[in-house]
Amino acid sequence: MKLKTGLIKILLLTAAAVAVQAEDELSPEKQISATASIPSKDVRVNSIGYKPALAKHATVVGDHGNAEWNIRSCADDSSVLSGKLSSAVVTSDSKETVQVVDFSALTAPGSYYLHVEGVGKSVPFCVADEVYNDSLELQMAGLYGLRCGMAVSISHGGNIFQHDVCHAADGKMDYVGGTGTIDGTGGWHDAGDYGKYMVNAAFSMGVMLKGWEDFSNQLAHVKLPIPETGGTFPDFLDEMKYELDWMLKNAAVYGDGRIPHKLTRIDFSGMVMPSTDKEDRYWVPYSSAATAGFTAVMAQAARIYRPYDAAYADKLQAAADKSYAWLQAHPERHDPDQAAFSTGGYGTSDSDDRLWAAAEVWETTGSPEALADFEKRAGSARRKIELSWGWSNLGNLGMFAYLSSERKGKDADLEKAVRQEVISTADSVVDLADKQGFGRGLDRYFWGCNGSVALQGMVLRAAHKETHEQKYLDGAIDQISHLYGRNTYNRSQVTGEGINPPMHPHHRPSEADGISDPWPGLLVGGGWPTATDWKDEMESYETNEIAINWTAAMVYLLGMFSEYTEAP
């Protein structure tokens, strides 16, 4: 029988919340005995749960010496595993004294909690093969909730999150040398605002399409609350197609391969629902970075969608070919003229985007010119694989495409160098996760750093593919654990899921819809400029905004460990 992990998670976390509420209502003389049943804020676990065969780590705040810990069954309170706390260390980022519990020896599926002598117990958690399936599908539902140009509705946690058709007049041509409009409807709202930005859209799609290439046997099973479900494509690819179709519309603005940098208002809207945002929205002049990212995604998607719809794949490939030809004919960097706009700038150099474009074009077409283009750029790159990376520094996507390709003709020395840097960078992630008291595989804090924590999953998976060493999978599990509660906040970083999740993200529908709970399945940015600076406040867009690229990273990370047993 399939374990209903989502229901178990809801019941366990609800029980923990009820226990806290019940304790508040007790008389003072009875509160002492009740305290033992209340989860301790100092015992921090992955509140979603763990895979049976992989790492299971928790963190206890403080120095409790050689105290004993026990894993206990939620069913009958029996102890199933015990041990002693590790030596205390001081975290390098939050400067807290902590001790680590390694209970990886627990492999039996079930519902458990961690009890630490003299400290207390954790919130309940699951151990199950399918433990991350519901979380993956919630992230995908979060993307569906960001759809622009159509009415959407999501049911979660007893609420209906919905908005009406929005931005149906996209987009005006005033700033790209034209008049009137060219259809720019569709796609995803990029972040907490309602703009649509090609640079970030391309990166987000690249991450998730790479997820499909790496884990399609599992992602093909994902079922989503979307109108297209049950159609020609698996639901996962249907959600990607909604964004792809918008990206394709960008190609019509210039018609020669150049791609607009973004489609937004002149300035940001107020905290209103998308359907009430009626200001004109404009195509913004092209950039070479946007054109290169578009090229990469079109080429990548062409090979992925071909088994399902050859005509659609041809359309994607034709768009990639035209934009790649433009890039080859115009090797200079071209930044967009955004002087009239105060919406998100997404300014970036284009060398990494061009590298990625060349890799994807070669992988799809076998073009020797594209291979030479990539290898020249990769050969001169200061680093082949970056530890901290994202939309503005996305060369890793090109390197991963090259390394995983089975095409012949690769430069053996370059391939070896990329492989070595994948492994050495993954080792850095694992080392950081082991040294940091909360398992975080990144040593910097910056705007959107939670997304970069999740992105470490791609580096770790690439290293595991090359070496088959389990430490890389265990390191990736540590990143999931960190984002779902094993952190300095003792809080999930994903709306609608896990222990005490964010309630006030910088996300306009969450603020404007009149529902106290935020829209679900959205990863917030995280602490910046230091570990302790995260604020669960709508106004704190620097730490509490949401964005499609961070969700994309979570989709890849959770997809790595998704496990479906039914037939596609």
62 conformational bin, left if phi > 0, alpha if psi -120 to 50, beta if neither: left
Structure tokens at 293: 């990212």
- Taking residue 365's Cβ as centre, other Cβ atoms within 10 Å add up to 19
C-alpha distances out from residue 354 to 40, 279, 291, 348, 370, Å? 50, 34, 9, 12, 10
Distances (CA, A) of 196 to 147, 188, 252, 343, 348: 11, 7, 16, 10, 16
Does 536 qualify as catalytic in the annotation? yes
- Judged by DSSP in three states, 535 sits in coil
Query: What is the rounded CA–CA span in Å between residue 67 and residue 120?
Result: 11
- Tracing tokens 């840097």 back to the chain, one arrives at 421
Q: Where are the alpha helices (DSSP H) in 95-234?
A: 133-145, 198-219
Q: Which of 506, 507, 511, 542 is catalytic?
A: 506
Strand extents, DSSP E, 381-435:
none
User: Which residue among the candidates 214, 474, 536, 542 is catalytic per the annotation?
Assistant: 536
- Yes or no: say if 449 and 493 are a contact pair by the CB < 8 Å rule: no
Euclidean distance between CA atoms 51 and 56, whole angstroms:
8
Helix residue ranges per DSSP H, 157-258: 198-219, 235-254
The one catalytic residue among 129, 137, 193, 360: 193
The residue count of the chain comes to: 568
What DSSP state is assigned to residue 165? -
User: How far apart, in whole angstroms, are the C-alpha atoms of residue 313 and residue 271?
Assistant: 38
Kindly list the distances between the CA atom of residue 227 and the CA atoms of 199, 230, 273, 567, in Å, as whole numbers in the listed order.
Answer: 27, 9, 21, 22
Cα 405 to Cα 25, 331, 364, 451, distances in angstroms: 61, 25, 10, 26
User: What Rg value do the Cα atoms of the chain yield, rounded?
Assistant: 24
Q: How far apart are the C-alpha atoms of 416 and 244, rounded to whole Å? A: 33
Buried b (16+ CB within 10 A) or exposed e, 500-536: bbbbbbbbbbbbbbeeebbbbbbbbbbbbeebeebeb
Task: Give the count of alpha carbons within 13 A of 231, CB side only.
Answer: 14
The answer to whether 88 and 98 have CB atoms below 8 angstroms apart is: yes
Buried b (16+ CB within 10 A) or exposed e, 163-175: beebbeebbbbeb
Closest CA to 494 of 133, 47, 58: 47
Residues 353, 360, 421, 545: which is the catalytic one? Answer: 545
Residue 160 host element (H or E): strand 159-163
Residue 416 β-bridge partners: none
545 is catalytic: yes
Distance of alpha carbon 553 from alpha carbon 294, whole angstroms: 18
Alpha-carbon span 562 to 486, nearest angstrom: 20
| DSSP code at position 533 | G
Q: Is 506 assigned a catalytic role?
A: yes
Helix (H, G, I), strand (E, B) or coil at 102: strand
Beta-bridge mates of residue 115? 70, 121
Spatial separation of the C-alpha atoms in residues 235 and 238, rounded to whole Å? 5
Q: Which residues carry out catalysis?
A: 193, 506, 536, 545
